[in-house]
Structure 1
Amino acid sequence: MQTTGAAGHEPGTGTGRAGLVKRLLPLAAILAGIALVFAFDLDRWLSFDALAANRQALTAFVEANHLLAALCFIGAYALVAALSIPGAIFLTLGGGFLFGTWAGAAYSVTGATLGATAIFLAARTALSDLLRAKAGPWLHRLEAGFRDGAFSYLLFLRLVPAFPFWLVNLVPAFLGVKPGTFVLATFIGIIPGSLVYASVGNGLGSVFEAGGTPDLSIIFRAEILLPILGLAVLALIPVAAKRLRARKS
């Protein structure tokens, strides 16, 4: 005779299926958002040309409604980061142009951190358990090593501009990193790059007048990149020190 649960559901259905749907819903919403963005070509607004074409209207809106404009900017940046849409760098440029270097960088960092946290939590909820079950012992070893110095590793990955932002959002989710660690390392780690591009954006007025384009490779100049890489190396010192103590013991 087949037994049923207290609510009359067969084992493996009902609550289990509803729980699976609930877990997958945030990720499904993000995937649907990505599909809509590319279906309606909304990513075209994330470009230097779009910023140049709408700069007067945007500037007027910021001057008339600074707080609302800042909130809209942070929300837009969070959405772009959560959907992993290419072109967030132009939002940072726009933030510097519209709000100034420091405020533009602060708003960009806030929006990027919120968006990154959203996709991190969605992936962590929907896929991490499945990936662990399928990946085998190698993922568990990697997870253990990452957890030993999660903040340092994440800070390093955020500071080095060679690592894609969307990838660094997902990998920690699969390796069991705590949300608090993820948020703090993300917030701190993206500050230097955001300040660089916001400062470029702050000078866009003269670029627009000259009909030119900003130098987006500025972050790879030695005088800028080397200090950032130095910070990245410093971020790994706690991990190196911990491993050295472990070997000695």
Structure 2
Amino acid sequence: MNGKKLAIALAIIAALVLFFVLDLGRFFTLEALKENRQALLDYYGDHRVGMIAGFMGIYVVQTALSLPGAAILSLAAGAIFGAVLGTLYAVIGATVGATLALLVTRYLLRDAVLTRFGPKLERINRELEERGLHYLLFLRLVPVFPFFLINLAAGITRLPLRTFVIGTLVGIIPGGFVYCNAGASLATITSAGDVASPRVLGSFALLGLFALAPVVYGKMKKTGTRDQ
């Protein structure tokens, strides 16, 4: 490992250690968000640009390092910025963070990721390489695999970066809006799990099936051609 890669690896390790040693996760809870919502709104009213930049920066770091708290950050986006703008900021932050996670995995941690998660990633890798954008959209829309695991999987495939960015950006919009819209009515939420109801998950699954429709059609067409 050269000096640049070693420095990046050490910085990532240091950030992870600090997060857990300082117990920063205590700020990424529903209770903490409810307690501090008014203070966050007041700060946003006085420092709009700084608040937006700070929020997106936190979301980027959280996603890039695969830290806990994504659902709370999305709820916070809706609670502070409203459903529409909150979705915009959350989706951009998550997409940038996911892209950084992919790049770090692809150029720094590929061997380590294969050693640690290889068996779990095998099927995802194969599908991402063969189906590209459609399968990535399916994975982003349907919460079958954890968000961070998809980033790692894509990082050890030959999936084009542009495809990853587009698939992530588009694929997380529905889920992001659901959480941000719920965050706009924060007082009615008792737990982050309440947002992802069976009806909502079913809707995501339906969208995911639409994303896979071209793949299914292509397989059927290919099978029909071979049978002729």
Coarse TM-score class (shorter-chain normalised): 0.7 to 0.9
Cα RMSD, aligned residues only: 2.7
For structure 1, list consecutive stretches of 5 or more residues without a partner in the other structure.
1-16
Alignment of 1:1-249 (within 5 A): 18=2, 21-128=3-110, 143=125, 145-204=127-186, 206-207=187-188, 213-214=190-191, 216-222=193-199, 224-247=200-223, 248-249=225-226
Superposed CA deviations along residues 179-226 of structure 1, whole A, max 9, x for unmatched, are 11111111111111111111111011x44xxxx72563332332x222
Distance in 2 separating the partners of 1:142 and 1:106: 28
Distance in 2 separating the partners of 1:44 and 1:141: 35
1:148: how far off? 2.5
For structure 2, list consecutive stretches of 5 or more residues without a partner in the other structure.
none
For the 8 Å contact 2:141–2:172, the answer to whether it is kept is yes
Paired letter, 2:193: L
Paired letter, 1:177: L
Change (3 A) 1:125 1:25: farther
Structure with the bigger RCO (C-alpha within 8 Å, sep 6+) is 2
Q: Secondary structure at the match of 1:86?
A: coil
Q: Secondary structure at the match of 1:219?
A: coil
TM-score (norm 1): 0.80
1:35: how far off? 1.4
Change (3 A) 1:228 1:151: same
For the 8 Å contact 1:146–1:175, the answer to whether it is kept is yes
TM-score (norm 2): 0.87
1:131: how far off? 6.8
Superposed CA deviations along residues 84-112 of structure 1, whole A, max 9, x for unmatched, are 11111111111101010011111111111
Count of residue pairs brought into register by the alignment = 223
